Structure 1
Amino acid sequence: MAAPEPGDEPDAAPRARYVRAYTLTSGRTKAKVDLPLEATLERITLEGAHVPEGQVGQILEICHSKSVAEVSAAVRLPIGVVRVLLGDLVELGHVRVQATLTESSSVDERRDLIERTLRGLRAL
């Protein structure tokens, strides 16, 4: 069977270009801020602050009251990349990391956190 000639493909659309996730972080693999998977995030509205665009802007838009893992699932990016980008947003003052579990957290608090995180991951 002969290979098709260029132009023989009637509806050939150009292939989509793919940007590797690590280019979003400039090759960085670690966030400067400690961000556990279960950490709940709070978006902070800064008057007159520059709002990031692209993937970082999308992360900022959806991160309020979600965990790091939920944000990663929602934007469909690897957790390591999302951690680095969220760390940048924390440093810029756009996002605050809420305390999650401590040594004195009850079993119910721990179970609730795990259930919320799993629900968020399953929603996508």
Structure 2
Amino acid sequence: MSDPRWNSGGWEPVPQPPPPSDPASPVRPYAVTGGRTAPRMKLAMEALVSSATAEQRELSYMTPEYQAISQLCRQIRSVAEVSALMRMPLGVVRVLIADMAAEGLVRVHQPQLDEGRPDVNLLERVLSGLRRL
């Protein structure tokens, strides 16, 4: 089912993401991060993340959240995209990704700042990816 969205041609359906395959976790997001609300490293929401785990067997010792992030990041994704796809708060995902980067489980590609401003092309690509969700 989809909700209507107005555009210049009239109302059009907006596809809704599929429901999560796993039942909702009874664990609160802040419990997943051990109560931490800030990542150990500065992590922009437009930063790109790629998985550093090459094989499925490496996932068996990881938490379910780490496994999900590792699977999602087999394709390069932004931090914001990972948050949206996991349906978890951005702050929680930032903490998890920063922890995974410190353990060498993911690679983080921070945006290059030009005089304190993010790269416009990168932001446009992130926005385009978010619109496709």
Please confirm whether the aligned pair reaches a TM-score higher than 0.5, indicating the same fold. Answer: yes
1:17 positional shift: 6.4
Which of 77, 93, 106 aligns to 1:66? It is 77
Residue 98 (structure 2) pairs with residue 90 (structure 1): no
Structure 2 portions without partners, runs of 5+: 1-23
Determine which structure has greater relative contact order: mean sequence separation of CA pairs < 8 Å that are 6+ residues apart, divided by chain length.
Answer: 1
Answer whether contact 1:46 1:94 (CA < 8 A) is retained. Answer: no
CA contact (8 A) 2:53 2:70 kept: no
Identity %: 41
Q: Does 1:53 align with 2:63?
A: yes
Q: CA deviation at 1:42?
A: 2.1
- Aligned residue in 2 for 1:110: 119
Q: Which runs of 5+ in 1 are unaligned?
A: 1-15
Question: TM-score, length-normalised on structure 1?
Answer: 0.72
Give me the whole-angstrom Cα distance separating, in 2, the residues matched to 1:17 and 1:70.
Answer: 20
Runs of 4+ in 1 over 6 A off after TM superposition: none
2: CA distance, partners of 1:53 / 1:120? 27
Alpha carbons 2:36, 2:95 under 8 Å: kept: yes
Query: SS at the partner of 1:29?
Result: coil
2:43–2:110 Cα contact (<8 Å) kept: no
The structure with more radius of gyration? 1
Q: CA contact under 8 A between 1:33 and 1:90: conserved in structure 2?
A: no
What residue in structure 1 maps to residue 32 of structure 2? 24
CA distance in 1, matches of 2:58, 2:101: 14
Deviations 1:39-81 (A, max 9, x none): 111221367x843131221011112411111111111100000
